[in-house]
Structure 1
């Protein structure tokens, strides 16, 4: 049964540019402009009309955009929940400007070993993550550590939890890696490794969406009976001010917004493409977390019930449930 019939999340790409070169991502390879404040102001108002509650200002590296604090402040004024994920390279020098503007601030860290983390990110950023944690805590922020899990770094999870997140009172978010397009992340996690992750996710101060585990055990999205609701739950806006459908990773079509996001999203041509969510040939086997998470939340499938306890746990521990109720 469908519980919510309007989009709840916007993945707003402020730029595709990045100051890292992660081996499991190809966004940084793309040429890109930066979004403009005028477009953001209009689009946020239309997103509010459409029922969106959460704005993820993303990239690329979102902190490369010098007006990010202005975007966040505007989103907060309009009542949105805000989220930003950063590699930490630019956070220490921008932390004061961002203070109090990000509800869910994530620092990416994939190992407790400097060399291992920096190798995967293609740039020396480990020390910047640790410095970002220190600065954020001094400012009274409550950042999370986002750990992208591969088979090759699964053994590092324990040390990150023991030596970094727990001593600093941070939430550890476990983000299972996923393949898309021509980007491959190595061998898929085995049943034994999924079971290990599931048990780890039940620890205090750890968040793992159990729906991700269930979906991987089921072989991902299946076009014959899709669980993906990417286009109806999530709006993707490109740095060129385009609506991207059905999701960023497929990007079948890009529609220039031109100040008309509300009408564009509801237009027949847009909705016909949105209706193909999870049903395109490329959707078979998909496990992309950023679209599955909102998909699980809007209808009562088995994945809804799998995801619910961990989602409630995160929002309770972070206190974001209060902001969600006011959104």
Structure 2
């Protein structure tokens, strides 16, 4: 027996059965993700939600044929935006070519640690973005405004390299977003700056003219997977939830191993949809 979510705002007296899967329908395919470098990354962050590292070669890189086919399917299926992630996307030798192809059809976002974005790459990204009718967004990970605190989880020198990438991208005419997880962002002491104020000061002192920050929650998966410490949704939590709050209700991920429900389940058996075909992956998922 399985249960589907009720319509948004609907009330029901029928209880969810705790030991049966809750099936979530795809509401609309708004976003398509590409796991472009599999799980290979030049950093080994202690809190990585997909367990990426320089040694994790469990997923192959995506080739141009797969990406081109995926973008064609996305166009046909009404996808609104494209995301590239990994691993570290800029480890892919054809990443600039991939972005040029994506930006010919869609607004495009890249999630990157920024540490290997050279001045040449930043300049080329600016040129590609300027030539496109769609927006290019770069999300650069800096998990704490303090270099020592950040580098303790991301690796020595990661803070300085990422901040340098932000400055290079802005100089190239782009508007990068700093992304941080809540993993290191503890409550401030009385009288001290808020984390947002600390980030603002960091970026302004670095000469960044238009600082942007996105804070994302911690997911107890990947290197932080510990069933005894996480907070998990119950059937009752889902009864009145808007399905669109869940990524698997509005997106899919293309990997070298097939289509996956959402980015945080890449590399996990429960995320696999056992198909290489995007359209056939659009049914309900548990």
- TM-score normalized by the length of structure 2: 0.71
Matched, 1:177 2:217: yes
> How far apart are 1:241 and its partner, in Å?
4.9
Equivalence for 2:20: none
Per-residue CA deviation, residues 248-294 of structure 1 (Å, 9 max, x unaligned), is: 4265224241xx433x235xxxx14x2x3xxxxxxxxxxxxxxxxxx
Distance 1:219 1:135, change over 3 A: farther
Q: What runs of 5+ residues in structure 1 fail to find an aligned partner?
A: 189-215, 277-327
Q: For the Cα contact (< 8 Å) 1:37–1:71, is it kept in 2?
A: yes
1:39 pairs, out of 66, 76, 85, with 66
Equivalence for 1:158: 197
Distance 1:111 1:180, change over 3 A: closer
Q: What runs of 5+ residues in structure 2 fail to find an aligned partner?
A: 1-6, 9-25, 130-134, 189-194
Q: For the Cα contact (< 8 Å) 1:87–1:129, is it kept in 2?
A: yes
Matched, 1:28 2:68: no
Distance 1:145 1:50, change over 3 A: same
Matched, 1:235 2:252: yes
- TM-score normalized by the length of structure 1: 0.63
Distance 1:247 1:127, change over 3 A: closer
> How far apart are 1:113 and its partner, in Å?
2.1
Matched, 1:88 2:127: no
Query: What's the secondary structure of 1:96's corresponding residue?
Result: helix
> How far apart are 1:235 and its partner, in Å?
0.8
Equivalence for 2:12: none
Report runs of 4+ in structure 1 exceeding 6 Å deviation: 218-221
The separation in 2 between residues aligned to 1:221 and 1:235, in whole angstroms, is 25
The separation in 2 between residues aligned to 1:248 and 1:110, in whole angstroms, is 18
The separation in 1 between residues aligned to 2:235 and 2:124, in whole angstroms, is 40
Query: What's the secondary structure of 1:95's corresponding residue?
Result: helix
Q: CA RMSD in A?
A: 3.2
Q: For the Cα contact (< 8 Å) 1:10–1:54, is it kept in 2?
A: yes
The separation in 2 between residues aligned to 1:222 and 1:24, in whole angstroms, is 26
Q: For the Cα contact (< 8 Å) 2:145–2:198, is it kept in 1?
A: yes
Q: For the Cα contact (< 8 Å) 1:150–1:176, is it kept in 2?
A: no
Distance 1:182 1:63, change over 3 A: closer
Matched, 1:134 2:167: yes
The separation in 1 between residues aligned to 2:203 and 2:248, in whole angstroms, is 36
Q: For the Cα contact (< 8 Å) 2:147–2:159, is it kept in 1?
A: yes
The separation in 1 between residues aligned to 2:101 and 2:236, in whole angstroms, is 35
Equivalence for 1:244: 260
Structure with greater proportional helix content:
1
The separation in 2 between residues aligned to 1:142 and 1:46, in whole angstroms, is 29
The separation in 2 between residues aligned to 1:231 and 1:107, in whole angstroms, is 23
The separation in 1 between residues aligned to 2:153 and 2:43, in whole angstroms, is 10
Report how many aligned residue pairs link the two structures. 237
Equivalence for 1:11: 33
Query: What's the secondary structure of 1:70's corresponding residue?
Result: helix
